[in-house]
Structure 1
Amino acid sequence: MTATRRAGSETRAEILRVALELFTERGFEGTSIRDLSEALGMTKSSLYYHFEGKEAIIQALLASRRAEVDELLEWIDGQEPGPELLRRAALRWVDSTGRERILGMRFAHANGPTMARLAAQGGTRGWFDEAITRILGPDAPMPSRLRARMAFDTVSAALFAAQGQPASEADVLAAARAATIALTAPD
């Protein structure tokens, strides 16, 4: 096997991209380090140079998602508070969804036990609670908070609904956008 030489940051990005695809397709448990190294055209030792193992790869993928949420939080903090802020923030999230985030959501759907374990370790489920509190305030009633959470989770819901359907990513995003608008309509 001939290893492909790349810059360190390019190699890490490629490892994350390929790992996400394989973990989604074969499952986290069903994908070995050997599978990853073969798909990348590198030795296992080269892969271990960049990541200690599969768990470290998942942590890096989650860190990337967390950075996207932090970016959204910064944007929220710079906005004028008001009744339209929830809609604008949730649509910003939906509209910024690209292929990698969709793959991440598909991974989450396909790897329930792994995601449950990560959630128990402080995973992704509560990340939008911070955004919701900043938008609605800490004393917002629970039904309003749940609706806001649903507005941020429309892409995942649309992906779930699209399983087994001939829906494209554009179809999923269009459905998610429409659901976000409906969920954030004034009472």
Structure 2
Amino acid sequence: MNPPHQRRDMRADILDEARKLFGTKGYTVTSIADLAEALGVTKGALYYHFKSKEAILSALVAEPAAEIAVIAEDAAGRTPRELLGALIDLQAQHPAAYMALQSGDASVLQEHSQRHDFAGKTELIIMAVAGEHPSPLRVIRARMAVAAVKEGTMAALVAGHGKLTDQTRLTLLEAAMATLDAGGES
């Protein structure tokens, strides 16, 4: 039997490799066999640390879920630009988790969304982006700005093979801010 520190290292290695494969091949296409082959271990060794591919995804999603909770908790004290930038950075730091959640497997998305209350946390962020006492139109634009960040960042990550350049980040942020401020009415 491996000492506990080796199990922890193997678990971290599995998550690192899953980040790479989920981020490049996609969650749906990547199999446990792919992960085992990339790590040079047996499928049984993977199952020793994670009972399923879904358990690996759960471990990956837990990281950004904790971070979005912090963003949502602090949303009221931040500017719209800071919040939208934080959402871009969150996706860029965890591309495999976001790409897996957007893989087209609705049951995966629904399970993790409910477990981590992504909708509730996103709603807090949207309302903070909209500002104090927003008009209905401002709330709509805040929703559109957050959607632009989510979809735009995902598209940029796919095009950049899991990487986001500083210029692309700035372009995404400026586009989201332009969406929020379109029409001038707050």
Give the TM-score of the pair, scaled to structure 2: 0.70
User: Once the 2 structures are TM-superposed, how far is the Cα of residue 135 of structure 1 from its aligned partner?
Assistant: 5.5
In 2, Cα distance between the equivalents of 1:181 and 1:153? 12
**1:76 maps to what in 2?**
75
Shift of 1:62: 1.8
TM-score (normalised: structure 1): 0.70
Aligned residue number for residue 169 of structure 1? 164
What is the distance in 2 between the residues matched to 1:105 and 1:175? Answer: 20
Aligned partner of 1:183: which letter?
A: T
Q: C-alpha displacement at 1:160, in angstroms?
A: 5.5
Residue in structure 1 matched with residue 45 of structure 2 by the alignment: 46
What RMSD in Å do the two structures reach over aligned CA positions? Answer: 3.6
- Alignment counterpart, residue 145 of structure 1, candidates 124, 139, 143: 139
Q: Is 1:104 matched with 2:97?
A: yes
Amino acid of the residue matched to residue 19 of structure 2? Answer: L
Higher share of residues assigned helix: 2
| Residues 180 and 9 of structure 1: CA distance in aligned 2, closer, same or farther (over 3 Å) | farther
1:105 and 1:156 in contact (8 A); partners too: no
Percent of aligned positions with the same letter in both sequences?
28
Unaligned ranges ≥5, structure 2: none
Give the match's secondary structure for 2:74: helix
How many residues are paired up? 175
- Equivalents in 1 of 2:45, 2:67: separation in Å? 28
- The residue aligned with 1:67 is 66
CA offset digits 1:15-60 (Å, max 9, x no partner): 2231132234334333221211121223322212221110111122
Aligned counterparts of 2:112 and 2:94: Cα–Cα separation in 1: 19
1:129 aligns with 2:123: yes
Rounded to whole Å, the distance in 2 between the matches of 1:14 and 1:177 is 33
Q: Point out where structure 1 has 5 or more consecutive residues left out of the alignment.
A: none
Aligned: 1:119 with 2:109: yes
For 1:90, the equivalent position in structure 2 comes to 84
CA distance in structure 1 between the aligned counterparts of 2:101 and 2:151, rounded to whole angstroms: 12
Deviation sequence 1:107-126 (CA, Å, 0-9, x none): 445x21x2x22333352762
Cα distance between partner residues in 1 of 2:7 and 2:145: 37
Contact 1:106 1:159 in 2 (8 A): no
Task: Tell me the distance in 1 between the aligned counterparts of 2:160 and 2:20.
Answer: 20
Task: Name the CA distance, whole Å, in 2 between partners of 1:18 and 1:156.
Answer: 24
* Change in CA separation of 1:23 and 1:150 when aligned onto 2, cut-off 3 Å: same
